[in-house]
Amino acid sequence: MPFRRILLITLLSLSTMASAQVTDLLPDVLFYGPASEGDNDIGTHLNHPGRVFFKFRTSIPDIGMGEFRIVKNGQDAGNNQEYVDQIIQRSDGSTRARTLSDFRWDNATAKMQTLGWANYRVRIILPGDGVGPIIREGLKEYVNITSTQLHSDNPPELPDCTQQITQGCIPPSGERLNSNHNGLQGLSVGYTDIYSKNLEFQWVDITGLHWGTYWCEMESDSLNDILESDETNNVTRFKFTIDATSDPGGLLPDTPTFHADQDGNNSVDFTEILRVIQLFNSGEYYCDESTEDGFAPGTGDQVCTPHASDYDPPDGHISLSEILRLIQIYNAGGYTYCPAADPATEDGYCLDFAK
């Protein structure tokens, strides 16, 4: 057989194999923020007395090439729960299953339990719209993931109605598919799940957070457990403001806490400044509500409003320049909160020598 003919046959064979290659049709789930200020609210909840929450509406669509389908697999996970599989569609019409590490089907609640499906955080806004440290956080631990409605940014070719996983579309038979049918949940391609601001845990606990403007950060699949076509678009942020309009009942303080001033007399005495020097000398501090100022020297949880002397930038450390600024306030005898000062001060406080 001539060499050229053998080469042609080989190339044709490789081309046929390549065209027959089976690929995964993966989902892509991500958060879309509130459409307007009316989709946000600051308030309380009967089940959580004494707490104040930032509540917001959001949606989480599947904009990928395949549906996001998860289902209990019958394997005992303990605590009256079952392990959960992600069912992945393939280009030849078949499917394959992979067991997830984060999701559990909870038989007691008939819901999925997860620590990474929907994580919410409040962050400080740094100059130039920079993203500062996390100061509050929350999550939706028990969920019913369902195709509530068509997504506004849906792909040009929507799936057949009969292929929709959950409610939001009535198949020709007239039967509406149930989001928890036999432990099945998920999103069809081009559909989105809507989380109303009135749902419990569709919020971040902001108790004690003072008036101001912050980032609200939403992250889907924070534990990277779901197999998706795009793993880089899971974080979405939007700004929200706490002020007299959004907090008409005055549930939150209108000014920040100056943590060095433990007795709240608008001045810093020698004992108080020694405490901040202790945090400075430790090199790092963490949140600890059991102490006199809410902080402790050393390494630990830093999800709280940073110390007022940690501002340039707020990073869990009090620097030399920041401690020198506090000494300046100590020497002046007093201070006032002056966020609108012109020119602005470095920390939002002005010296008050009249004290």
187-226 confidence digits (pLDDT tens): 888 888 999 999 999 999 999 999 999 999 999 999 999 9
* Domain containing residue 78: 21-242
State the total domains in the chain: 2
Name the helix (H) or strand (E) containing 335. strand 335-337
Residue 4 lies in a domain: no
272/349 Cα distance (integer angstroms): 17
> Which residues have C-beta within 8 Å of that of residue 175, sequence separation ≥ 6?
none
Is the same domain home to 140 and 183? yes
Boundary of a domain, candidates 242, 257, 285: 242
Residue 255 lies in a domain: no
3 state SS of 326 = helix
Is the same domain home to 34 and 169? yes
Is the same domain home to 202 and 307? no
308/285 Cα distance (integer angstroms): 12
Can you tell me the mean pLDDT for 216-244? 96
**Tokens found for residue 317:** 């450390």
Length of the chain: 355
Can you tell me the mean pLDDT for 330-348? 95
Is the same domain home to 51 and 145? yes
Where does the pLDDT of residue 180 fall: very low under 50, low under 70, confident under 90, or very high at 90 and above? low
Give the C-alpha distances (Å, rounded to integers) separating 49 from 46, 54, 87, 196, 207: 6, 15, 41, 21, 11
Is the same domain home to 146 and 53? yes
Residue 9 lies in a domain: no
Is the same domain home to 110 and 160? yes
